Every structure is written in structure tokens, then in C-alpha cells.
Amino acid sequence: MHRPYLIYMRPYRSTLAELSKIPGVEILVLGITYDNSKSKTLVYSLQPQKKKHVDEFSKVLNKEDAGKVKILMKSRSSLTFVIEKDSCDFYEYTLGSGNFVIFPYLIRNGVRKFYLISEEDPKVITEKLAKRGDILRFQNSFIYEAINNSYRLILQADIFSKLTPLQREVISRAVIRGYFDWPRKFSLTDLAKELGVSKATLAEHIRRSEAKILSSLVGLEWKNARYENTSS
């Protein structure tokens, strides 16, 4: 019987994991395929903004052992590309043994978070994965959790691609600190001091970020419908 597992794993060797350690970078693995004994990984990445981090990103991605890289789409905030390698131990096990990996999955701060659906005994899975990286977390899960997580990652990537790096930082810090909680745990003044900006500047960044996020969630079709209703 196939059972889903949530796994956090720090790979021993992984170009994508190394990239994800760079400040401002998050990796979404969108899919994987094998072609003529080569693995091809489709990747979406948030781009770093500081020059030293951009240079580091380029250096890691162009390392000799990183594989052949083909850029599909590039913007100021994101990069979509394919990495082609002769082999990949992780995928040879996870996808070559009758298992299923739910895509997309996230790599952040050098840690791969993914859902694996397998018929194998959990002990066998962990033993095989341990040959490819440190298992930080391994737990039973549910199919609906894996699907919901996949949907959330796609939605988050779409939203984050519309925010500037500073807006992503502001919103992330505001959520973590409890600015959006009720009652509010962290004031605008406190948040402005922590980020080193004025209250007016911070308020404007939050307002613009909220507008972008809500526009992504509501969708342009709803805006059009509202316009059509009010103009008829």
C-alpha cells in the first residue's frame, strides 16, 4: 500500500541546496525527467538582489560539476532554468523505485522539503535516503496535505515574484513579528526601527505589498467582472 511521508533532508551534494543557502534565494523544483541516461530538472528560483549574492549565485550555478544549465526565463526577481546532469542519486532512488515525489517541492537554507509516496517500509526508505543526505525529519502524512502544500508553493511563488526583495522582507518580517496578529503584537514603529526605515516608508511598502498579494489572490477576472457590473 502506498503511504505518503513528509521528509526534510539536507543533501550531501546538491547544487540546488547550495544555491538555496544564498540570502534571498528559494528553490522550487518543478519537475524531473530522464532522457538518454541524463537527468533534467526544471527549477524556479527567487533571485538574490545584492551584487555579492548575485555573483555567488552565478558562481555556484556555473561550477563544473553543476551540470549543463539552460535558462528558460529570467526576470529581476526570479529565474526559471533546467539543469541537465549525467546522473542524480536522489532521483534514481526516489523516482526509480516505484516511488512518487510530489512536485513542486521546496529547497530552502540547504534543506530539501518534500513529500514521498512509497510502498516501501519506512525503515528501508530512511536507510536509502540516509546514503544521500541527513534526514532531519521523517513523518507520516496525508495525500491531501501533500496536494495542499504543492498548491500553496505555486501560489507563494506567484505572489513573491510580484513583490520586490524589500517588500518580501517587510511582509515576512511583519508576519513573523506578529504585526498582522489581533491584537497586534508588534507595532509599525517597532517594525520600522528593526528594518531601519521610516514609518511612512514602511507603511507604503506594506500597502503596496498587500495590494499585490490581494490582486494575485482575487484575480484579474474578478476585477473585470466588477467593472462590467458597474458599467452596465
pLDDT tens digits for range 191-215: 999 988 899 999 999 999 998 888 8
Specify the 3-state DSSP secondary structure of 131.
Answer: coil
pLDDT at 78: 87
Q: β-pairing, 3-11 with 38-46? A: unpaired
Specify the 3-state DSSP secondary structure of 220.
Answer: helix
Distance (Å, rounded) from C-alpha 3 to C-alpha 117? Answer: 5
- Is pLDDT larger for residue 26 or for residue 92? 26
Cα first-last separation, the chain: 56
In 3D space, the residue among 205, 204, 200 whose CA is nearest the CA of residue 170 turns out to be: 205
Domain locations in the chain as residue ranges: 3-142, 163-231
Express each pLDDT in 117-175 by its tens digit. 999 999 999 999 999 999 999 999 999 999 999 988 888 888 887 888 788 888 888 99
Express each pLDDT in 71-130 by its tens digit. 999 887 889 999 998 877 788 788 777 889 999 999 999 999 999 999 999 999 999 999
- Is pLDDT larger for residue 51 or for residue 64? 51
CB 20 within 8 Å of CB 109: yes
- Is pLDDT larger for residue 55 or for residue 227? 55
Distance (Å, rounded) from C-alpha 209 to C-alpha 109? Answer: 24
Alpha-carbon dihedral sign for residues 44, 42, 91, 61:
negative
Distance (Å, rounded) from C-alpha 128 to C-alpha 123? Answer: 9
Distance (Å, rounded) from C-alpha 231 to C-alpha 225? Answer: 10
pLDDT band at 227 (very low <50, low <70, confident <90, very high): very low
Q: What does pLDDT average to over the chain?
A: 87
Tell me how far CA of residue 58 lies from CA of 74, 197, 225, in angstroms: 13, 30, 44
Express each pLDDT in 182-193 by its tens digit. 888 989 999 999
